[in-house]
Amino acid sequence: MRKHIIACTISEEKKAIYNVIKLLSLLFLCRIAASEITQAAAQLNDVELVQRCFNALYNSTPTTFGSFMISSPVSLNISQVWRSAKESSFPLTVFSTATMDRVHHLESLCHMLPGSAVSAAVYLPLVQPHGAFLLPRNEAVVQETQAKLQEVFNRLEGSSDTCSLRLLLLTEVSADRALASLVPINALRNAALLAIRTPLAAMIDVDLAISDSLKSILSDPNRVQAMQQAATSFWVLPAWESESHLTQQDAQNTVLSAIKGDKQRLGMLWQSRHLRMFSEDIFPQGHNVTDYRRWLSAGQPYSVRYARGYEPWGITRRERHLMMPYDIRFRGCFRDKVTQVASLAYINTSFAAVPDAWLVHQPHKLSAAASIAVGRTRTQGSRVEALQQVVFYRGINTTKFMLHKAHSLVTSDDALGAMAAGRYHPIVGAQFKNCRDSLPWF
């Protein structure tokens, strides 16, 4: 027994010595590793820095419909980033989001903004029951998507008259098939916002076309300076869309004519019922206060009085967006942007219409959620089905689509109530906060 104890002590001593050596060598290795990490950090470009601070707080637990309904913050993984080597000549970054079926719109957006930067967040949902590792099928989808985006990036980078692109691919592991069709649009907008380095920012949805005239405004130092100096202004770019009675070909020609032409042409397209105010039929309060009739004859910027429901697109200082980023409780398609514009008004942002630049919505296939919202579901497949699946929730039989709509409306009312009470802070999630607090350019 005693012998054993002695043996044991000796071995403990040996172990201790061994441990000290191990510790020293570990420390040494750590120092090398640390210096390598510092060097690597020095070599990371700014979009990779966004990826690092964002993914540092990635939570791989799959989202469920229940977690969405109680507004648990969505967690996204930035799976890959691309950053153009092109310098942007204007102090503006347009930021936007896309799903893979809209990536061609993203490509044309970049073509419409030569000299500007574009920061885009692309969303890829991955449906599986657990989050720790990806199922082979999803691993393959990620790789395929990365390869497709690489091609898009290469094409844009290889072409001379294009934007300076910052592209982020974000994945979400979801245990619920319906959630995969409810794009976490605001979390994506915020991710794209993080990668903006210019003083001016404009959130422009990916399916909008931009008038050629924006480029001449941005080329005029006086105009740009005026926009930058008006610290609390939001410069509205009026949005149009083709009339619904047009054939697809006519609609496309109308869009092209409207972005290439001047305001006189716009006036003609409007009078001949080719163009109308964006969303005039389903949500007129979204843009009506811009006063399109007045705008058509305006030669100077004029101020627009905010009214509930207003949701213009336009240019503002990046700081405005950082003060009031997008509330990530919204997914799918109700009031996500209306609520953010209300929050800009809440911090006393003044809206002014830009007289000589505009946007035109491009016709496209609707997302599953949007197609249910407007009652056009005949052509959609499994995504619509997942959203229209009947579930029993708090004593009623309803669909996941209806629950998401109710969730959006309640969330928006809650936010507007908090604004009225002077205590609104958008919910942005830990990933966005970590980046906002640690990235050197904020």
Ligand X SMILES: *[C@@H]1O[C@H](CO)[C@@H](O)[C@H](O)[C@H]1NC(C)=O
Comparing CB distances to ligand X, the nearer of 284 and 417 is 284
For residue 430, the minimal CB distance to ligand X (Å) is 16
Min dist. Cβ of residue 262 to ligand X (A): 23
d(Cα 435, Cα 442) in Å, to the nearest integer?
Answer: 9
C-beta of residue 168 within 8 angstroms of C-beta of residue 81: yes
Among 55, 253, 377, 389, binds ligand X (CB under 6 A): 55
What part of residues 184-243 is at the interface with ligand X (CB under 6 A)? none
Q: Which is nearer to ligand X, 129 or 284 (CB)?
A: 284
- Closer by beta carbon to ligand X, 324 or else 359: 324
Question: What is the smallest separation between the CB atom of 367 and ligand X, expressed in angstroms?
Answer: 23
| List of residues 6+ apart from 239 with CB closer than 8 A | 208, 277, 278, 287, 312, 313, 358, 359, 360, 361
182 Cβ contact list (under 8 Å, min separation 6) = 68, 331, 332, 369, 387, 404
Min CB(284)–ligand X separation in Å: 4
Q: Does 60 bind ligand X (CB under 6 A)?
A: yes
Nearest in space to 267 (alpha carbons), one of 295, 236, 301, 303: 295
Nearest distance from residue 243's CB to ligand X, in Å? 17
Question: Does residue 174 belong to the site contacting ligand X (CB under 6 A)?
Answer: no
199 Cβ partners below 8 Å, 6+ apart?
91, 228, 317, 318
List the interface residues with ligand X, window 77-96 (CB under 6 A). Answer: 77-79
Q: Is 438 helix (H, G, I), strand (E, B) or coil?
A: helix
Binding piece for ligand X, criterion CB under 6 A, among 76-84, 151-159, 180-188, 241-249:
76-84
CB of 228 closer than 8 Å to CB of 91: yes
Span interacting with ligand X, options 71-79, 178-186, 334-342, 432-440, rule CB under 6 A? 71-79
**Using CA atoms in the order 189, 191, 194, 195, what is the torsion angle rounded to 10 degrees?**
-100
Stretch that binds ligand X, among 234-242, 284-292, 353-361, 425-433 (CB under 6 A): 284-292
Q: How many residues bind ligand X (CB under 6 A)?
A: 17
Binding residue for ligand X (CB under 6 A) from 288, 377, 398, 434? 288
> What is the C-alpha R_g of the chain?
25
Q: Does 51 help bind ligand X (rule: CB under 6 A)?
A: yes
**Beta carbon of residue 124, minimum distance to ligand X (angstroms, whole number):** 10
* Nearer Cβ to ligand X (51/116): 51
Of the pair 207, 291, the CB lying nearest ligand X is at 291
Task: Give me the least distance between CB of 297 and ligand X, in Å please.
Answer: 13
Among 66, 129, 284, 417, binds ligand X (CB under 6 A): 284
Q: How many Cα atoms are found within 13 Å in the side-chain-facing hemisphere of 354?
A: 26
What is the rounded distance in angstroms from the CA atom of residue 278 to the CA atom of residue 293? 13
Interacting residues of 167 by C-beta distance below 8 A, sequence separation 6+: 81, 82, 83, 120, 122, 149, 152, 153
Alpha-carbon gap, residue 178 to 387, rounded angstroms? 5
Residue 393 to residue 315: CA distance in whole angstroms? 41
One DSSP character per residue, 225-259 reads HHHHH-TTEEEEE-EEEE-TTS-HHHHHHHHHHHH
Binding residues among 144-173 for ligand X as defined by CB under 6 A: 171
Compose the 378-417 pattern: x for residues touching ligand X by CB under 6 A, - for all others.
--------------x---xx--------------------
Altogether, the residues listed in the chain come to a count of 442
Q: Report CA 238 to chain centroid distance, whole Å.
A: 20
CB of 79 to ligand X, least distance (A): 5
Supply 37's token pair: 């990490």
Q: Which is nearer to ligand X, 80 or 162 (CB)?
A: 80
Instruction: Mark 290-319 with x for binding to ligand X (rule: CB under 6 A) and - for no binding.
Output: -x----------------------------
Nearer to ligand X, 107 or 241 (CB): 241
Q: How far apart are CA 27 and CA 312, in angstroms?
A: 56
What are the tokens at 419? Answer: 């604004």
- Window 321-380: residues binding ligand X (CB under 6 A): 347-348
Please say whether the beta carbons of 431 and 58 come within 8 A: yes
**By CB under 6 A, residue 61 contacts ligand X:** no
The residue among 291 and 414 lying less far from ligand X, judged by its C-beta, is 291
Report the interface residues with ligand X, using CB under 6 A.
51, 55, 60, 77-79, 134, 171, 284-285, 288, 291, 347-348, 392, 396-397
